[in-house]
A = this chain, B = another copy of it.
């Protein structure tokens, strides 16, 4: 904000400081600017079908702190009393009356960057393991015959009091040439006591954080000095071509090392390509990336590292490697700075991997006072229950149904996907991503549909679809419910949800609910004991908590006990990248997280069957 603008604003009145979470955008606004407009000015587009008239009800936000204008009649109509009570408002109807902190539920966002990279940027103090130093040296002469390595080590000590105990081989291979071509003024990059890069001073140093999901891969480029994310991108995991779930991929690589290498190459090439793309966005090269952190579930971790997976595929499902690893990027084929390391955070056990450690790290549940449940929803869903710091975890094979897989009209969260749906009497209201013509339905839309159909009585508790609704019809495999008819689809087939889709969703949500129940049973907790439920992951950020409660995926608890935090694993990976303290914390946390192998729970079948029920 320019000084001029600030002066002008101050003349017009006292500006309020407004903070929009979880995206971390901040600004100062004069009275008379709606929250929707504030968001727009800060680069955040909220869903608005009615153009800010308070009629569509999609621009829902939560006022976390501060005074705002009283609810309008439009808001009283669109929002439930309970929601108003918990600070939920429509952004287009709400005006600040002082400094504000506003939470924007991700489902209210409508931007093309609705990918899996978002999340709260934690306020971590940057203290990177990799640091750079400017070194000025004199050229050797007949009276100073010191070898170049000794010379540099001595100057590091003298000029910066840094002890160099080791120099990377590839750095050594260019050391002498670089010292001379830079005329004896260089940037020495140290990782602890190892020289990992040498080059011109000053060179900006970047770090790469990767959240390696079964379905999605989120890559973040950070400035190591400021600790800020300077670019990010999410892509589909290219290994999907070899199987949507981890078991299929594991069975493939068990055929031989060629398959294992091919699987690894796929992901390495993808990361290389994104690293180059993101670097270019900030006018840098991937060789400026001098540190990296990768997190993923145990299977993704093992596939990335070409570790054996046989013992993971079969009970008792033990990982080959749990401990944290530091591996030269080049050993894995990663095209970043030749001397850089990749840090793999530690795994937990079974399929519960480093991504869950990163999530626990970023959400701080290990230090939370009460009973906190953290659910990271993905193709594999990992759940952790922290009971006053005592943590236990499970892994649930929730499958890719939430990604739209095995759903008749399912699709990934891309333009044209129905992502929100309401059934009001016989009327169906929906919203598609980017407001395009509907072409399918993505995870959050499927969840909404299930909930609405159950509430409307179209589905019973067991998930059976009634025939007593005008939108229900028969097709070759049973019943289905028409969401968008042929006419609306402009000639394409009607978009429906089938009885079989419902079964798929029941299996997915049942796996999650059973996992929650088993964790609660472990320490004899009841649902009511849960003080907070943290919902993480891409799908977890977009889903409508009310819908998830309605179908019994989550326990029936007040909405304000839920907290959707975005890609918490990605946030944790970023913290570990920029902070040695956080990296150490992750090492400490991981072995504290207990693990329950579902195959060893005697009444698992019973619990799972019960968890399949809706409501």
Contact = CB atoms under 8 A, between A and B. Distances in A.
B305 A172 contact: yes
A149 B311 contact: no
Given A150-B323, A308-B177, A318 B140 contact: yes
A306 B140 CA distance: 21
A318 B172 contact: no
Contacts of A180: 310-311
Nearest to A166: B326
Interface string A138-150: 0011111111111
Given A149-B321, A149-B322, A321-B149, A142 B316 contact: yes
A150 B322 CA distance: 7
Interface stretch (A103-111, A466-474, A549-557, A594-602): A594-602
A255 B21 CA distance: 58
B142 A600 contact: yes
Nearest to A175: B320
Contacts of A323: 147, 149-150, 153, 167
Contact of A316 (B145, B316, B347): B145
A149 B140 CA distance: 48
Contacts of A331: 169
Contacts of A320: 147-149, 172, 175-176
B310 A145 contact: no
Contacts of A146: 318, 322, 349
A311 B174 CA distance: 12
A600 B143 CA distance: 8
- Report the copy number of this chain in the oligomer: 2
Interface in A170-192: 172-177, 180
A327 interface: yes
A321 B172 contact: yes
A169 B331 CA distance: 9
A350 interface: yes
Contacts of A145: 316-318, 349-350, 595, 597
A315 interface: yes
A327 B167 CA distance: 10
B148 A319 contact: yes
Contacts of A316: 140-142, 144-145
- Which secondary structure dominates where chain A touches chain B? mixed
B308 A176 contact: yes
Of the four ranges (under 10, 10 to 19, 20 to 34, 35 or more), the interface on chain A belongs to: 35 or more
A307 interface: yes
A155 B177 CA distance: 47
Contacts of A308: 173-177
A310 B176 contact: yes
Interface string A250-285: 000000000000000000000000000000000000
Interface centre among A147, A149, A167, A174 (most CB of B within 10 A): A147
A280 to B, nearest CB: 26
Contacts of A177: 308, 310
Interface string A153-173: 100000000000001010011
Count chain B CB atoms within 10 A of each CB in A148, A180, A331, A595 and give the residue with the most.
Answer: A148
Interface in A343-362: 347, 349-350
Interface in A197-215: none
Interface in A294-337: 305-308, 310-311, 315-323, 325, 327, 331
A147 B597 contact: no
Contact of A142 (B150, B175, B327, B597): B597
Contact of A305 (B143, B148, B169): B169
A173 B306 contact: yes
Nearest to A179: B311
A310 B349 CA distance: 52
Contacts of A140: 311, 316, 318
Given A307-B176, A316-B141, A147 B595 contact: no
B142 A322 contact: no
Contacts of A325: 169, 172
Contacts of A142: 315-316, 597, 599-600
Nearest to A177: B308
Interface string A27-61: 00000000000000000000000000000000000
Contact of A148 (B144, B311, B599): B311
A172 to B, nearest CB: 5
Given A172-B307, A305-B172, A311-B180, A318 B349 contact: no
A338 to B, nearest CB: 12
Contact of A147 (B141, B349, B600): B349
7 nearest A-B pairs in the assembled complex, by CB-CB distance: A147-B322, A142-B600, A147-B319, A176-B320, A176-B308, A140-B318, A149-B321
28 contacts: A140-B316, A142-B315, A144-B316, A145-B318, A145-B350, A145-B597, A146-B318, A146-B322, A146-B349, A147-B319, A147-B323, A147-B349, A149-B321, A149-B323, A150-B323, A167-B323, A169-B327, A172-B321, A173-B305, A173-B306, A173-B307, A175-B308, A176-B308, A176-B310, A177-B308, A177-B310, A180-B310, A180-B311
